[in-house]
Amino acid sequence: MNSLSKTFSLVFLLFFTSFVLIAQENSEYKTYKRKRKYTLADSLRGALRPERTCYDVHYYNLAISINPKKKIIGGSNEIHFKVMQPTAKIQVDLFGNMEVEKIVFSDKELTFSRIHHAIFISFPDTLPLHSLQKVQVFYQGSPKVPAQTDQRHGFYWDKDEKGRDWIGLCCEHLGASFWFPNKDHLSDEPDSMRMHYTFPADLTCISNGVLEKIDTLSQQKTYHWFSKNPINNYNVTFYLGHYAALTLPYTNGNGEHEITHYFLDYERDAANTYFQHTPTFVKFFEDLYGEYPFWNEKLAIVQSPYLGMEHQTCVAIGRAVTIEEYENWAYVHQIPWASVVPHEIAHEWWGNAVSANDMADVWLHEGFATYSELLLIESALGREAYLKEVEKRRTFIQYFYPVIGNREVNEDTFSKGDVYYKGALILHELREEIGDSRVFFAVLKRFFMQYKYKTVNTEDFINTVNDVTKKGYTKFLKDKLYKIR
Ligand SMILES: [Zn+2]
């Protein structure tokens, strides 16, 4: 073969290869489009419908009893809201398998109808603009338990190794309306929330925020918790079990604090082992992003009957995570227990303080928390280890969905995990593209400081990148976030 035909063959091969790749991508995208058929249920759950945008929640007051024997919960949630558009009808969400007993407004029962997981509440008169209102939804039922195929989302009526009750829940993407009535859309966080949990007296309850009071009756206890800060719906949670606590002092430039680890009372040694690293993670993230946003409540990690979750001020660390599983992480021997713990703690900045306002943008939670793990590796083990881990995580990317899904449908961008790994690698690539790590970290810090306690979407992040760098990264980021490859 002469050099001309070699060149021709090479050009043809390149052309053919890219044609195959484009064709593959197109058919992949078509499959993606085909599979994404949205229903009325998706819109009711995920859209900012007029019956939702007409009101703004400012406070929830949730009071429930938990009955482990019957596996039911019940009680009420008071929804305090401001009227943003005059209306005689609002939408509140509660899964269809949960029974609504009554809805009370100004001491009178209201009429309501239910479609899928939405409740439409009718008021006798139009509620005036900017007025402050309150409805109390009484309900009960057996909340959804995790499917066998998805040991992640739902209500856990578990037992500890001594056969005692160990109860908890997690519901990222599933939504808090699977267990209590609320306006289940990420764009509307209450400014604060009280949670009153009544349960058998032998158990202890950990929840979000600060513990205000414990009432004890002969057979039952009620714990009263208060989240002083805005909280997104899926972060609201509680843990019931036979918990003990370890506390470590923590000091930063603004004062002295405590970090608490709640664990099952027979796990003290294991808890001690991995808890000792937690202050290091917190210090690292405070230096990088800004001060921990919930010191006015607490910083706690809690042993949970499921893998992990970023529950605000009481992040879950699962017992299912064994030492062997940690060995899959490159840095396990240098920083034991370093994967799930820092991931969930990083969410206090990314996901909890700065929260996405639609599930389509949830890479702002998961990509950022996953990238925080990589930054911790870089800080502890150096640049080479960091780059090695970046390449390892690249192999986990499925390239099945775009990182950003469709808005207003409660998109399940979790199903292939790309919001984690691809999300993290997009941050890595942005840092490389910017070329100066100090500028890149200034972007992250500004994004946190500007939007803490608020909800955001990806455009807010892109605008921050462009503002801080004084350059245009819109196309760079949109190509990576909206295209499958
Ligand atoms: Zn996460």
For residue 470, report the distance from its CA to the centre of ligand 1, in Å. Answer: 30
Q: pLDDT at position 269, please?
A: 79
Q: Which residues pair with 120 in a beta bridge?
A: 91, 113
Taking the centre of ligand 1 as the mean of its atom positions, its distance from the CA of residue 295, in whole angstroms, is 21
- The answer on pLDDT for 324 being more than 70 is no
CA distance readout (Å), 415 to 179, 186, 257, 421, 451: 22, 19, 38, 13, 27
Top pLDDT among 333 and 375 is at 375
Distance CA 355, CA 158 (A): 30
Using the mean position of ligand 1's atoms as its centre, give its distance from the Cα of residue 356 in Å.
Answer: 13
Ligand 1 centre to CA of 153 (Å) is: 13
Q: How far is the CA of 420 from the centre of ligand 1 (A)?
A: 7
Kindly give the distance from the C-alpha atom of residue 365 to the centroid of ligand 1, in angstroms, as a whole number. Answer: 7
Q: What is the mean pLDDT of residues 385-412?
A: 90
Tell me the per-residue pLDDT of 341-360, one tens digit each, with 9 for 90 and over.
Answer: 889 999 999 999 999 999 99
Report yes or no on whether pTM surpasses 0.85.
yes
Query: Among 455, 436, 446, which Cα is nearest to 351's?
Result: 455
Q: Which domains does the chain have, with CATH numbers?
A: 349-485 (1.10.390.10)
d(CA 310, ligand 1 centre) in Å: 7
pLDDT value, residue 341: 85
Q: How far is the CA of 315 from the centre of ligand 1 (A)?
A: 10
Contact present, 387 and 481 (Cβ < 8 Å): no
Question: At 292, phi and psi to the nearest 5?
Answer: -50, 125
Q: What is the pLDDT at residue 32?
A: 57
Task: Give the Å distance between the CA of 260 and the centre of ligand 1.
Answer: 20
Which pLDDT belongs to residue 307?
A: 80
Closest to 437 measured CA to CA, from 402, 399, 391, 468: 468
Q: What is the CA radius of gyration of the chain?
A: 24
- DSSP result, 286-324: HHHH-S-TTTTT-EEEEEESSSEE--TTSEEEETT--HH
pLDDT at 44: 96
Buried b / exposed e across 461-475, counting CB within 10 Å, b at 16+?
bbebbeebbeeebee
Residue 301, class by beta-carbon neighbours within 10 Å (0-12 exposed, 13-18 middle, 19+ buried)?
A: buried
Whether 1 has a pLDDT exceeding 90, the answer reads no
Expressed in angstroms and rounded, the spacing between residue 347 Cα and the centre of ligand 1 is 7
For ligand 1, the distance from its centroid to the CA atom of residue 179, given in whole angstroms, is: 21
Confidence label for 151 from pLDDT (cuts 50, 70 and 90): low
The pLDDT of residue 196 is above 70: yes
- 232 — pLDDT class (breaks 50, 70, 90): very high
The per-residue pLDDT of the chain, averaged, comes to 89
Tokens of 361: 């943008």
Expressed in angstroms and rounded, the spacing between residue 256 Cα and the centre of ligand 1 is 28
Tell me how far the alpha carbon of residue 389 lies from the centroid of ligand 1, in angstroms.
18
User: Where does the pLDDT of residue 33 fall: very low under 50, low under 70, confident under 90, or very high at 90 and above?
Assistant: low
Task: Report how far ligand 1's centroid is from the alpha carbon of 352 (Å).
Answer: 11
Higher pLDDT, 321 or 400: 400
Gap from CA of 464 to ligand 1 centroid (Å): 22
Q: Which of 102-111, 184-193, 298-307, 356-365 has the lowest mean pLDDT?
A: 298-307
